[in-house]
Chains A and B, each alone.
Chain A
Amino acid sequence: MRGSIHAKVFALIAVVAIALIIGLASFFTGRYVDATHRELDERLRIYSQLAAHELVPVLEFDDRQTLREIMASLGADEEVAAIAVYRDDGTLVGSRGELGAPDTKRIAALIHGHSTKGTVVIEMSTALVDAEIANANRGTLLVTALALALALTGAWLVGRHLAVRLGSLASMASKVVANATMESDTPFTDESSDEIGRLSGSFNTMVGRLLAAQSREIELLLENVTEGFVIVDAKGNMGAHHSAVMDRWFGSVEKGMPLWRLFAEHDPNAAAYLELGWEALFDGFLPPEVALDQFPKRLKHGESIFELVIQPIKGENGDVTSALVVLTDVTAAIRRAEVDATRGDVLALCERALADKSAVVDFVMEGDSILRVILEAERLIEMKRAVHTLKGVAGQIGAVNIAACCETIEDGMVVSETGKPRSQDVATLTTRWQALTAHLRTLFDRTSGEVYVERVDLDQLLGRVEAHAPHAELARQTKLLRLEPMQVRLDRQKQAADALAKRLGKDIEITGSAGRLRSDPAVWAPFWNAFTHVVRNAVDHGIEPVEKRLKRGKPARAKIRIDIVRSSSCVMIGATDDGGGIDWFKVAKKAVLHGLPAETPADLESALFFDGLSTCDDVNDVSGRGIGMGAIRAVTESMGGTVAIESRTGHGTTVRFTIPVTALGDAYTDISPRAVAA
């Protein structure tokens, strides 16, 4: 109340009223008192004059009887307190009452006779007058008090009235300032036509316009934004406002609807995780960043895919009370990325084809058969190896997105409880493969009818024909031409190893020769596909980083040699590196971890081939999953061959494949060592 309009108005009116009322009261009381006194004085004067006149005979003739009558007559007025008549010489002629009493008014009048003089003294009591005046005063006081009370009450009420109206206006204004909203169900109305009424009318109009402008702007924002924005409370229910695009995506989105209901029909799994995740976000057990990471990042609705971002909102006391949910339609972006990915691979393969067309053709054909294994394999381990191999060959030839697809499948298999990949990952691979090869098939004549023949070999055959060489020899030479020079495959392996080494920042010299050996590509394709794992392992794990090599006193430049030689009965493929060798202690440790025997060197060598055993602690996209060795051994054994590993810690590793020479192709059957050209 202090300092408010109420106090000020009250004070103003009170002061004025008090001044006025008290002034008036004093004024009128004063006048009444004067009048009353004057009346008494007047009466006294008249009495004295009358008495003076009447008393003349009393003094002249000493008429005591008349004196008595006059005194009685005067005395009839109750207010006459005393009368006294004196002769000129001061003698008392007669008196009535007590002279000199208090509270009296006195008057003396001269009595003029013919021969005598005298004085009459009349004293009138002021008691009555005083009593009357006192009464009047009391009355005035009462009235004054009443008037004051009324005035003050009135002042208070008027002040309050004004203060209340102004106060409502003020608090409405500060509410608007604070919240920029006006509760539309209690508009501020002041109907009167005084200044305050006009002010409140204008205020309403101003605020209405302001809010309309603001909300129109917000409406425009929500109407045109392309992302889905909505605020969701702690229970998961959506707020009243959301971007218009959400209605177009999901049908009607209503306030109070739980967020996950938008996805319940088309993506029930994601919807369930949304609900569970929301509970976790708000129950305060896990830190918010952990709870947020558990949410599905992508959700499906019909043909569209949405990305979900959740932004917690803190309330006034610092607790999280709601969250902003942002949905982005990434369907087009994903499709574009797919197209780009495939296009990238197509580009890489085309570049490769300029240098080595047959490599790309082989890749497409072999990839087709590997994919068939992936889709139809009965045993999980076959599928695992096929995926790993496809990843290797795709990486080798530069189809990085196919390789990435395979990586995703492998990751999924690791995490999955059953070891099976997620069907959507396999579907993605299939789709991507078909997209990629569709492009390539239009560029290449994909007949398996091409054979790669070197001019020098053809010339040599022609020479033998023209020299009328024996039929058996000519038959054999011709058969040989149907086989592919192993050097071609070897060169590819070397090239891929080179590229990988550069990618990993390692300086490696890669050499090797296949002599003039030839092999049936159909039979050997699976071998070479799996061989990529051996090469990748050597480059990635076998060769140590430069600092380590130098510390060991080795040259900074590492060496990998891949040689293919044949004896009369076998062909031997050896891959040797001068790296750090196999860490047999680590192998032993991992073997024990997987429950394998680890006593003898033979045990450890076996363990190396066990699927899933890797001496690496980290899996990268090149190797480390422990699948490669098992794959190559399986292929080798299916060709009737064997694998052996020699390794010296600190010095290097050699992997040796011994395969019957008949696996090279039918040109190598029934021949004597002498007649063999290579």
Chain B
Amino acid sequence: MAYVMLIDDSATVRMQAAKALSAAGFGIIEATDGLDGLEKLATSEDAISLIVCDVNMPRMNGIDFVQAIAHSGAIPPPVIMLTTEGHPDLVRTAKACGARGWMVKPFKPELLVAAAKKITGA
């Protein structure tokens, strides 16, 4: 089973994504912000194949998170950044810092599942 990490400070968003992805057979690891994500990434027993990460979060935002994992030494799993409409500059910054893909919120859960399937090869 492939594992996906969901990093978002909104419980509703995490729940929506988790529901759709687990129904499609993915394992889910949730984190509430960048720092939490880093910790869970480091301590996770299961190999994480994809990270879906929000931009605006307390303590450590998405951009800083992506930068942090890029410098962590090992090759990090690919990151899809979730952004809100109206901030194309954030998307650019996210890509520049290493995010491989992006999706605008609100996203359609079935599209997230399709992306996860393609990226993890599941």
Residues of A within 8 A of B (CB): 269, 272-273, 276, 280, 285-287, 289-290, 293-294, 411, 414-417, 593-594, 617
Contact = CB atoms under 8 A, between A and B. Distances in A.
A286 B101 CA distance: 7
A287 B120 CA distance: 12
Interface stretch (B22-30, B68-76, B110-118): B110-118
A280 B101 contact: yes
Interface residues of B, number: 30
Contacts of B85: 269, 273
A276 B102 contact: yes
Contact of A269 (B15, B86, B117): B86
Q: Which of A269, A417, A617 has the most CB of B within 10 A?
A: A417
Contacts of A415: 84, 105-106
Given A280-B102, A293-B108, A294-B103, A286 B84 contact: no
B77 interface: no
Given A272-B89, A285-B119, A414-B106, 9 more contacts: A269-B85, A273-B91, A276-B91, A276-B102, A285-B78, A286-B103, A287-B115, A411-B106, A417-B84
A289 B89 CA distance: 23
Query: Majority SS of interface residues in chain A?
Result: helix
A285 B101 CA distance: 7
A79 B73 CA distance: 111
11 contacts: A273-B91, A276-B102, A285-B78, A285-B119, A286-B101, A289-B111, A290-B112, A414-B12, A415-B105, A593-B11, A594-B11
Contacts of B92: 276
Contacts of B12: 414
A15 to B, nearest CB: 67
A294 B102 contact: yes
Given A285-B101, A294-B102, A415-B106, A276 B88 contact: yes
Contacts of B118: 286-287
A417 B56 contact: yes
Contact of A272 (B88, B106, B112): B88
Contact of B88 (A273, A293, A414, A416): A273
Contacts of A294: 102-104
Interface string B6-40: 00000110010000000000000000000000000
B35 to A, nearest CB: 18
Shortest 9 CB-CB contacts between residues of A and residues of B:
A272-B88, A287-B118, A417-B56, A290-B115, A290-B111, A286-B101, A285-B101, A415-B106, A285-B100
A192 to B, nearest CB: 61
A307 to B, nearest CB: 16
Contacts of A617: 15
A290 B91 contact: no
Given A269-B86, A276-B91, A276-B92, A290 B103 contact: yes
A272 B102 CA distance: 14
A280 B111 CA distance: 14
A280 B103 CA distance: 10
Interface string B38-80: 0000000000000000001000000000000000000000101
A153 B106 CA distance: 79
Contacts of B103: 286, 290, 293-294
A287 B114 contact: yes
Contacts of A594: 11
A290 B114 contact: yes
Contacts of B102: 276, 280, 294
A276 B93 CA distance: 11
Nearest to B92: A276
Contacts of B80: 286
B62 to A, nearest CB: 11
Nearest to B117: A287
Contacts of A414: 12, 106
Contacts of A293: 103, 107-108, 111
B84 A416 contact: yes
Contacts of B11: 593-594
A593 B11 CA distance: 8
A279 to B, nearest CB: 8
A229 B101 CA distance: 28
Nearest to A284: B118
Nearest to A287: B118
A42 B56 CA distance: 127
Contacts of A411: 106
Nearest to B88: A272
B68 to A, nearest CB: 21
Contacts of B88: 269, 272-273, 276
B42 to A, nearest CB: 25
Contacts of B78: 285
A212 B11 CA distance: 63
Nearest to B12: A414
A276 B100 CA distance: 12
Contacts of B100: 285
Contacts of A416: 84
